[in-house]
Amino acid sequence: MHDSHSLLGGLFGDPVVDALFTDAARVQAMLDVEAALARAQVRCGVIPAAALAPIEAACQAGHYPLDALGQATALAGNPAIPLVKALTAQVRQHDPDAARWVHWGATSQDIIDSGAILQLRDALTRVEERLQVLCAALAGLADAERDTGLPGRTLLQQAVPVTFGLKAAGWLDALQRSQGRLQALRSDTLVLQFGGAAGTLASLQSRGLDVALALGDALDLPVPSLPWHTARDRIAELGSAFALLTGTLGKIATDIVLLMQSEVAEAFEPSGEGKGGSSAMPHKRNPVGCVAAIAAATRVPGLLSTLFAAMPQPHERAAGQWHAEWETVPEIVRLCAGSLAQVGVVVQGLQLDRPRMQAHLDSHGGLLYAEAVAVTLAGTLGKAAAHALVEEAARRALAESRHLRDVLQQMPEVAAQLPPAQLQALFAADSWRGMADTWIDRVLARG
């Protein structure tokens, strides 16, 4: 996995989110769960109150060399086992009696899963904040550019006119759906894991639920109906929410990359010193932010498939499937956060060449307005006849390098139905807006 200090970390990551998933952060999150467990059990009268301070004092990641923990993890099979052993030894140095109560009633997976949930919750907060900024920028763009026309493109070919405001509103609409999915994770997915050896909490006898509720309160995490050691739909759902956001960001980036093509040149990423250059071609202005977002959208689906493949876990504890999640989930979240950072910079500094957009609307002899003419003629000639007539006119316009309007004016079948002024109006700037403003307003109203 990348980190913010690696060669590729700045390209594919978000330093704040990357910092949440370092080895030290993972260890601290597990220790935060251990400290909260001790607080909850003291509150419930399960362990002596005198044990709390020594345990809390020892729950600092700096006490534990990461290299040694890593080596021990390779032998133990998970990082909680050596961490609990080291934590117990650390507590014992100061209070041998308190050391008896470290990790009381819990199992390794309780600590690892709940610690991971704490990390993911912090990452979610960062992503939601960045996403809100991006959505606000797109809302401003959708409103400001509602009168900016450009060719709509289907199958990468010019089709009919659209507005850039509508294009931005489409991006925003999809991101708003991601906002809803991410928000839902807080109550439905980011929940406590606490079940003991096999989910019964039998080691706590009748106090299991009391401790679970107190632990959930201490960590500010919802307590599910029962432990979910091998029920991993929540993790797959979380990965899916971040993957969907990453895919939407990739779609936005793809649109901008295509608009930046030399032959199109209608929109551009913000420029800057050292940004988007080529090692071989001095004239190049490469869409580096969008490329990073597209790379993330290309990588994340494969990672997500790992989470779905890991769902059929055996009985009460997985035999490798759960372990496959440990690096996969953070990588999905980090790639998503990195993509969001890149697209945020691109959108907030996006440069539009409006005259170029208008020139493309006027290019190709007005062929982009063929649909408007066909729909109008269909009212009297019928859809099939009107379509065939305009199709023939379009072929003739291309073959003779003439404007479609001029060809249509000279066709008796058209002249009989459309006076010159009405035909001229079909090629005017406002003839192609359709519901664009309405759609924009509906999206903005949801913000």
Name the residues annotated as catalytic.
278, 317
248 contacts: CB under 8 Å, gap ≥ 6: 171, 174, 175, 178
Residues in the chain: 447
Parallel, antiparallel, or unpaired for β 149-154 and 351-352? unpaired
CB 212 within 8 A of CB 110: no
Task: State how far the Cα of 432 lies from the Cα of 410, in Å rounded to an integer.
Answer: 23
In this structure, is the dihedral angle defined by the CA atoms of residues 326, 332, 337 and 339, taken in order, positive or negative?
Answer: positive
Q: Around 233, how many Cα atoms within 13 Å sit in the side-chain half-sphere?
A: 3
Residue 174 and residue 168: Cα distance in Å, rounded?
10
d(CA 64, CA 73) in angstroms, rounded, equals: 13
d(CA 178, CA 170) in angstroms, rounded, equals 13
Residue 163 near residue 145, CB atoms below 8 Å = yes
343 is written with which tokens? 């697209």
Longest dimension (CA), the chain: 102
The span from the CA of 146 to the CA of 152, in Å, is 14
Closest CA to 18 of 290, 337, 303, 239: 337
206: exposed, middle or buried (Cβ count in 10 Å: 0-12, 13-18, 19+) = exposed
Distance set, CA 240 to CA 11, 106, 187, 235 (Å): 23, 29, 16, 8
Distances in whole angstroms, Cα of residue 215 to Cα of each of 100, 104, 120, 188, 191? 19, 12, 18, 17, 11
